[in-house]
Amino acid sequence: MKQVILASAATVFLTLAPPAFADEQKDNPENLALQGITKLMDALGAFIGSIPQYEAPIMNDNGDIIIRRKHSEKDETEQEPKLEETAT
């Protein structure tokens, strides 16, 4: 009876062991560092892409710094949305 329990316990352990080892390999420091650098590069790319939206900073006499957005010319095909009129 003890041999049957021991054999079944060993079988269960061996079938569950490979997924446990796979999790350890996935979370090793090299993979975590690579994932972190990838996320950082994606964020920096989005930041660099947003820079052309602004003009050069202007400093006023009182020390205020003004950074204006560049206004892209609207297409002639774009129209203002019509507001819905209500009867109130």
Using one digit for the tens of pLDDT, what is the confidence trace for 17-27? 666 555 566 68
72 domain-assigned: no
86 domain-assigned: no
36 domain-assigned: yes
71 domain-assigned: no
Looking at per-residue pLDDT, the higher value among 44 and 8 belongs to 44
The domain tally of the chain equals 1
The whole-model pTM stands at 0.38
23 domain-assigned: yes
Average pLDDT over residues 1-17: 68
Structural domain containing residue 41: 2-66
21 domain-assigned: yes
Tens digits of per-residue pLDDT, 37-87?
Answer: 999 999 999 988 888 888 999 999 999 999 998 876 665 556 777 777 777
Complete DSSP assignment for 7-69: HHHHHHHHHHHHHHHHHHHHT-HHHHHHHHHHHHHHHHHHHHHHGGGB---EE-TTS-EE-PB
